[in-house]
Amino acid sequence: MTSSPSAPGDGGRTSVVVTGFGATTPLGGDVASTWEALLAGRSGVGTLEQDWVARFELPVHIAAQLAVEPTETLSRVQARRLDRSEQVALVAAREAWAHAGSPEVDPERLGVVIGTGVGGAVALLDQDDLLENQGLRKVSVMTIPMLMPNGPAATVGLELGARAGVHAPTSACASGSEAIATAYRMIAMGDADVVVCGGAEACITGITLAGFSQMRAMSTRNDDPASASRPFDADRDGFVIGEGSGIVVLEREEFAAARGATVLGRLVGYGMSSDAFHITASPADGEGQARAMTTALRRAGATGSDVGHVNAHATSTPIGDAAEFASITRAVGDHAVVTAPKSTLGHTLGAAGALESIITMLSLSEGVIPPTANLVHQDPAITLDVVTGEPRRVQVDLAINNSFGFGGHNVALAFARV
């Protein structure tokens, strides 16, 4: 494996490092509490108490809701003017920025890339209810800024004064990872020195659950929420929706070194591909997903045999987990140690790839891989080395984080241990 990443246009000379993490999740209000809960195998999935669950006669009564409400850290006025997806992005971005040491950077060299799969669903539904029940005058003047999918990125960009570009990839459940890959490219192409990037999602609503339920994509284990998300298990029956945000600060290595920043991880490659197969399903052979991984490894100057760990997308759907198994064995082999954080975090859609990138880097830096919960009877057709029960202590030099989304979006990120 070579020591520096390469991307089109950088001539192989630009190294990209990570200097800050931030998160708010169903397991905790920050990175430290989320990581602690993940290692302990605690679940963030619980029973929904909203009245619309019964009113709409939804077959799904469970979700992974935030452990800490954004309103506990945001001002009342600010929270009122932001959709929930924007709130979580701002909370996580503030933590990441502080963790990176609040870099002093020319605003024209500072970028923001935050993806979301759905965007401002909560604001859209709330404002539509006001319009229908109370009329035009009750609709907020902030309705459009709250519902637009680029709202989380724009909110953080305004907070930080970023002028190198503010972007918002919308590629379903691959959005957060695509945002990190886009940020990498901005730095590698010389467009920015620092990019705040990741994903945000908060769309636990009646229509979202109804739509996924009609697709039969979600678990209906309502009587035991904590065991509902079962990646790679023979009895898996669908994913559990979650909400949250994960944000990382990427920097050009020379810039980070000049300011004395602490390097938390290295992003050494990325791969993006599309299946052109089906709007919601992946091909059984995982060919497109494997291409994303192979491309990430090529950019990292590595091969599948160099990969010691895979943070799997693994949503707990029968078709999806099987396809990912095929893709991992195709691109990496079956030797890598695997974990599936959605077993306790739930599936945070557009935020998942960013949250799991943070988890991947913590696994590398701390030499410990979190267990996959609820894996009681591993699918006999899936012969991966999946961590279960207790965290596994193992030193890994190179890891892959996978994110795949409806529409056939595939993103793989390669991280190296510092």
Active site residue ranges: 173, 313, 347
Query: Is the CB of residue 78 less than 8 Å from the CB of residue 158?
Result: no
Query: Is the CB of residue 268 less than 8 Å from the CB of residue 114?
Result: no
The per-residue b/e assignment along 345-380, b for 16 or more CB within 10 angstroms, e otherwise, is bbbbbbbbbbbbbbbbbbbbeeebbbbbbbbeebbe
Q: With helix as H, strand as E and coil as C, how does the chain read?
A: CCCCCCCCCCCCCCCEEEEEEEEECCCCCCHHHHHHHHHHCCCCEEECCCCHHHHCCCCCCEEECCCCCHHHCCCHHHHHCCCHHHHHHHHHHHHHHHHCCCCCCCHHHEEEEEECCCCCHHHHHHHHHHHHHHCHHHCCCCHHHHHCCCHHHHHHHHHHCCCCEEECCCCHHHHHHHHHHHHHHHHHCCCCCEEEEEEEECCCCHHHHHHHHHHCCECCCCCCHHHCCCCCECCCCCECEECEEEEEEEEEHHHHHHCCCCCCEEEEEEEEEECCCCCCCCCCCCHHHHHHHHHHHHHCCCCHHHCCEEECCCCCCHHHHHHHHHHHHHHCCCCCEEECCHHHHCECHHHHHHHHHHHHHHHHHHCEECCCCCCCCECCCCCCEECCCCCEECCCCEEEEEEEECCCEEEEEEEECC
How many residues comprise the chain? 418
Pick from 109, 116, 99: which is nearest to 167 by CA? Answer: 116
CA dist 43 and 38 (Å) reads: 8
Phi and psi of 72, rounded to 5°? Answer: -75, -20
